[in-house]
Amino acid sequence: MKKSVCELFAGVGGFRCGLNNINSIEDLNRPEKWETVWFSQWEPADKKTQWAHSCYVNRFGDCKDLNGNYTTNDDINTVDKNTVPSHSLLVGGFPCQDYSVASSLATSKGLEGKKGVLWWDIRDMLEAKKAPFVLLENVDRLLKSPAKQRGRDFGIILACFRDLGYTVEWRVINAAEYGYQQRRRRTFIFAYKNSTEYAAQIKHAIKYNSMFGEEIKRHNMVHLIEQEGFFAKCFPVDATDGKKIKSGTLPMGIGELSDSFTFDFENSGVMKDGVIYTLKTFPKYDGKQITLGDIMEDGEIDKSFFIPEDKLYYTSPDIHHSDETRMQLEPEQRKTWQYIKGAKKINRKAANGHEYVFSEGAVPMIDEYDKPARTMLTSEGGFSRTTHIVRDKQTGAIRLLTPVEMERIQGFPSNWTEECLVHGEKVEMPLTKRRFMMGNALVVNLIKQMEPLLDEIISCEPEIELQYNIAEGIELEKETI
């Protein structure tokens, strides 16, 4: 089967970089191993310039749909999915702001939220184009969303795959636990049509038969999750107590599922024929650990990234907490990194007049060289507890991360987001946008690690020719001998 890709919610091309092992901008001069036949990137918040799309097009060029039109920067809700070229692999890091790690789970809105509804565009694309294989990425809290009905959203996603004839594997992967340069936990979903040769190979490998009793099925699914499955082969795990595997059945109706379904999903699992099997797994890795120090620039850094002394500390550097229940700080003192990252107690009053003490613990002010970077968020570089502050390698002075360092933390080539193609002209991407793009991206290294097995799986599939007749609005599928 041809290695063709449709990349939804493409950002600046993380999946494409990973699948084609792009390590530097110079690698764009060689042919790509995976052909991207269409992609979609539209950011409603960018009113004038679509910065992510412009960066993607600058690096890879644009793609026409089957009507010969450029629709890659249209709102995906408005795109006729039937006009998208057929593909063997659908990928995407679908938007997750409504239940992201940056917000409290208690305030998440899940699939009902403004971004979460975009899942249905993935579902519509699968229904229209019938991609044999799917690889998606989302935040780890997707498995527990929404707060008032834990597991409902992921259950809806699994039910959609079931109804379209797919088997699904998932795994929450922390990139740092497999040696990479960022502590970033993300849920990855791999789905494949039950009619594929790969599905038959998996059934044979785990000796699965639908007529087996439940205990045998559970044993087989443990074997799939720990050894024979897609994620087990890409990211090995230690053997577990297989008796702890949990199972459950998805309701047949999406409406019933939406109203009442809850389930305690673990970090690994599989859904087959509407039955869920889930197990908590633990990473197995003893190789090299890439650290923040390994990816930091060691040359001269522009002075604009350095933090003035009066913005670092308002008192002795040895003090890591403030107690404003005893003595209120001046506004300028609160505008220091020492304050924002330190532990604090503050008197507050609720809307109903109730008085209480707000408190939070300290976070390390300086990110050390010898550990992987913390999770990078879209707020990176802003005055926030989550922003990385580092000690410059050349001068020892304290500064913010550079765009190149942020790109390296996510596994992109250096200067990947430096330029964009806007109305046919190359322009410099603003620093705030470069920070946002990287906070919103995936760890490219993880896709690179999955690619060899994806290549093997799809290369072993018989060639399927998908022909789409736009005039008649029907798609014909036939096996090519």
Both tokens of residue 56?
A: 């993607």
Of 304, 71, 262, residue with least CA distance to 151: 262
3-class secondary-structure state, position 309: helix
Position 5 scores a pLDDT of: 98
pLDDT in tens, 175-231: 999 999 999 999 999 999 999 999 999 999 988 777 778 888 899 999 999 999 999
Both tokens of residue 188?
A: 């990855």
Position 269 scores a pLDDT of: 98
3-state secondary structure 347-367: EEECCCCCEEEEEECCCCCCC
Rounded to an integer, what distance in angstroms lies between the CA atom of residue 59 and that of residue 62?
Answer: 9
Position 464 scores a pLDDT of: 67
Q: How far is CA 221 from CA 226, 303, 440, in A?
A: 8, 55, 33
Rounded to an integer, what distance in angstroms lies between the CA atom of residue 258 and that of residue 151?
Answer: 10
Rounded to an integer, what distance in angstroms lies between the CA atom of residue 1 and that of residue 87?
Answer: 10
3-class secondary-structure state, position 258: helix
Position 96 scores a pLDDT of: 59
* Single-letter amino acid code for the residue at 18: G
Q: Is the pTM of this model over 0.85?
A: yes
3-class secondary-structure state, position 344: strand
What strands, in cross-sheet order, belong to the sheet with 321-323?
A: 321-323, 343-349, 355-360
* DSSP-based helix, strand, coil % in the chain, nearest 5: 35, 20, 45
> pLDDT below 50 — which residues of the chain?
97-109, 111, 113-116, 467-481
User: What letter does residue 265 receive in the DSSP assignment?
Assistant: -
Q: Which CATH superfamily is domain 4-287+441-479 in?
A: Vaccinia Virus protein VP39 (3.40.50.150)
Both tokens of residue 207?
A: 């000796």
Position 115 scores a pLDDT of: 45
63 is known as an active-site residue: no
Q: How many CB atoms lie within 10 A of CB 72?
A: 23
Residue of 17, 96, 160, 234 marked catalytic: 96
374 sits in the region (left: phi over 0; alpha: psi -120 to 50; else beta) called: beta
Give domain limits for the chain: 4-287+441-479, 298-401
Provide the strand spans (E) within 207-285: 246-249, 268-272, 275-279
pLDDT in tens, 43-86: 998 889 999 999 999 999 999 999 999 999 999 999 999 999 99
Residue with tokens 């093997």: 456
Rounded to an integer, what distance in angstroms lies between the CA atom of residue 362 and that of residue 366?
Answer: 12
